[in-house]
Every structure is written in structure tokens, then in C-alpha cells.
Amino acid sequence: MSIGNREHCRKSGNEPRRRVGRLLGGLGLLLALGTAAVVEGGLPWSLGSEPVPSLAPMLEKVTPGVVNIAAASVVQMTENPLFNDPFFKRFFELPSLGRPRERVQRSLGSGVVIDAREGLVITNSHVIGQAEQIRVGLSDGRILEARKVGVDPDTDVAVIRIPGENLTALSLGDSDGLRVGDFVVAIGNPFGLGQTVTSGIVSALGRRGLGIEGYEDFIQTDASINPGNSGGALVNLRGELVGINTAILAKGGGNVGIGFAIPVNMARRIVAQLTEYGEVRRGLLGVQTQDLTPELARALGFSAPEGALVSGVVKGSAAQKGGIQVEDVIVEVDGRPVPDSASLRNAIGLVRIGEKVRLSLMRGGKRLEKEVIVTLPSKETVEGGRVDARLKGATLETESLPPEGDEGILVKKIEPQSPAARLGLQAGDRLIAVNRKKVQNQTELSEAIGSVKQGLLLQVMRGKENLLIMLR
């Protein structure tokens, strides 16, 4: 080897040592001065006296405010119809049961203390469901009995109350200020293991159209979220609550890096109504809307297909009184952009009855501002057996102004083992049509059924699924 080559190797070997020495020397100086160095992206070289990056100081303050929830409810078991046949009962010597068989259903999840003095805990609706017993486990080992304050299945938000002694509440952040790429931490009780912390970033914002809940505006994150994390906290690096973990996208049921959280700004408005009324009292505009496609945008003279196109206005509704017209394009609600019809539904769904909203809309190339007071639709409840004996056991509810995007007659309740239950109807279904004839109220339903002497074909919407049920 030549002298020149040896000199090159010697310099190459020493240079990394020099760089490391300079780095350690600089780090030592920073620690001596009591300062914290921060690298690009927000991760610190030091936190207090710790010479390495750590989220521990923040988590020590936050984790006491995240709780584990165990809920128990009694559900009725579905029996095979053959077991009700007298022949099969005698042949197999089956006992005659005077009441439906029941079993206890248990679920595990998480929750977040949001008011230490009042003992208020926010969680997911699907965690506590119809629970008759709710127990909350704190990080200090205490197990407390909780009672239900209110539940809103449409946003999957629920509030429970525990004895307010020595509790730690999380401070609420501003989910509207989140950006894709912000660091976040998920805290919860995955698989019932106990309190677990995972970290990641905000992967996307404003996720809608997933079919998970009625009102969707999710934060998407790659922080590991698994079954049992539901209702837990999604916090930023300041320890502020920015979301309530609620769902994952995974065929096998485990984490694949796609999790969803309810924005805290949406959740806090729901919590305010649940704590005041025990339910969410939503107002309605009384419009039918659709997304503004590129073709429709060009036809209406828009440069970009953003906004909710009004395709119908209900007579006597708040929208009609406020001067909203067909072919208007609503682009903002109270100053917040409305990119599509789902965004409009979410925005109005968070407004209380009687509140005034300011709508910005485009009409004929001009921007207009309208103020509308959202109203409460009138409802009428009827027992299905009064309409037709085959619908006995179904409690039906009609609305003068159905929620935006909904139509038909709501099946509010189904009595077990009733004729309506044996047909396959379920609570939450909507009766859309009878023998292809649309129905929106009791009068139309009675006329449609009364005009048919033999079989009836019911069109039913269950979630986003369209079903056909034959009545004989």
C-alpha cells in the first residue's frame, strides 16, 4: 500500500471520531447549561435531565387520566324456530321455557377523564352500549362503579360518571389545528392487557364515508390501535387530548397502521349536550344534498368541485324559511369549509335545536350569506300492528323532516318473538317502499299496504345495505 493510500485511510478512520467527539462535547455543554436541544421534526435531544429523547415526562402527567372500562349487559339469545315446534319439543324432550333465554355480554374498552371535579369520563358508545353494569379501573389500581350520563350512537360518543375524588383530567386540545405529520400518542387498554401507550403521526384528516358511524370526520393515525383501545385518548406531544380512539381498519381485527379517532372538537360539542340533556338534540336544515361532481361544477360555472349541491328543499323547513333554493351550492357553515355533502351533514348534526347558523353559498356565480335557525322535526310514533298484523311488535316512527340523506319510516323498536321480529326486521331499519311505492309517513304506509291483498314486498335500508323482505 502506498503512503498516500495509508494517509487517506488514517484520515477516514479518525474523522468519524472527531465528529462524535464534537457532538458529545456540544451535548455536554447544552446539558451543563440546563437547556434542551431540539432536532428538526420536534424530537428533543434532551428532556430535563434526560440525555435521550423520551415521552415519559409528558405521559406521567397524562396516563392517570386514561381509564380502563369493563361493561356488562344482558342480551336475549336467539333460538332456532324449530325448538318452538311442539313435535320437536316432545321428540327431543326439550323443556318449555316461559321466557327467552338470556346471557351476559361483556366488553372491554377505555375512557378519558375530562372533568375531575364532576367525575366525567368520555368513551365510545359501542364500549358501554346497553350496559347495566360499568366498572372503571384507574391507573392507581382503584376500581369504581360508574353510571351512564348519556350516549350518542350516531357519533359513537358516550359519557359516564364516576366518584370524583383524586382524579386527573386531561386538558382538551384543538383538533382543528392538527396537521398531517403531527406526532400523536394513543393510550388505552388493548386486548384487556392494561394501560398501553403507542406513538405515531397524524396520517390524514377529515376521513368520511367509511360507514363506521352516522357522523364521520375522523383523524387517521398510524399509532397502534387495537380492540380495547376504543374510547381511549389520542394526545399530542403537549399531552393535550386531540381525539377519542374509536376504530381500526383491519380484516384480521389487529392493527395494520390504520386507526381512526373522533376529533375532540366534535366530541366536546356532543359531551355538552349529553351532560345537559342525556341525549343529543339535533336540528335539521330540511335539504337534500349531493356532492358536486366535476361535470356538475362545470355546468354550474364552478372552477372546483367543492361544496354541497342542494337538490331539494323540504316545504316548511328551516332551509326554505332561510331562503335556500335548489341548485344552491353550500360552501361554508359558520366560516368552516364544506367540501361535500357529508361535511354539511356533520356540521349541521352538531348544531343544537334553535341555534342560528351562517351559511355561505354560491348561486348563479354570486356568493351569498344566509342565516338559518335549525329546527326540530315533528315525530309521530305508531304501533306496526295498527297498520298491518304482520308488522305487530314493530314501533314505527315517522318524521316531518327526516335527517339529511335519510328517507322512509324508521323502525324504532322491535319486540322479541313478535311477528315483525320473525320477518327479520330490526331496530334502526328504515322502510323505504312497499311494492316499489315510496312511503314517508303512516298515511302513505297504510295506503300502500291496504291496496295489496296478497304478498307485500318491503324495501328496507339497514345501514348502507338495501334489503328486500317479503310479507305473506
Q: How many helices (H) and strands (E) does the chain have?
A: 11, 25
- Distance, in Å, from the CA atom of 335 to the CA atom of 337, rounded to the nearest integer, reads 7
* CA 431 – CA 397 distance, rounded (Å): 10
Nearest to 244 by CA among 236, 234, 258: 234
Output the nine-digit C-alpha cell for 80. Answer: 332456532
Asked if residue 217 lies in contact with residue 206, where contact means CB atoms within 8 angstroms, the answer is yes
Query: Cell match 328551516: residue?
Result: 318
Q: How many residues are listed for the chain in this entry? A: 472
For the stretch 332-351, what's the b/e string if a residue is b when 16 or more beta carbons lie within 10 angstroms of its beta carbon? bbeeeebbbbbbbbbbbbbb
Alpha carbon of 181 to those of 71, 184, 204, 223, 266: distances in Å? 35, 9, 8, 12, 21
CA distance 4 to 85: 99
In the beta sheet, which residues pair with residue 143? 137
Residue in the structure block whose three cell numbers are 318524521: 399
What gap in Å lies between CA 341 and CA 403, rounded to an integer?
A: 13
Closest CA to 318 of 284, 289, 344: 284
Contact 391, 421 (CB under 8 A): no
Active site residue ranges: 126, 156, 230
For the chain, the distance separating the N- and C-terminal CA atoms, rounded to the nearest angstrom, is 98
- Name the H helices within 72-215: 86-91, 125-128
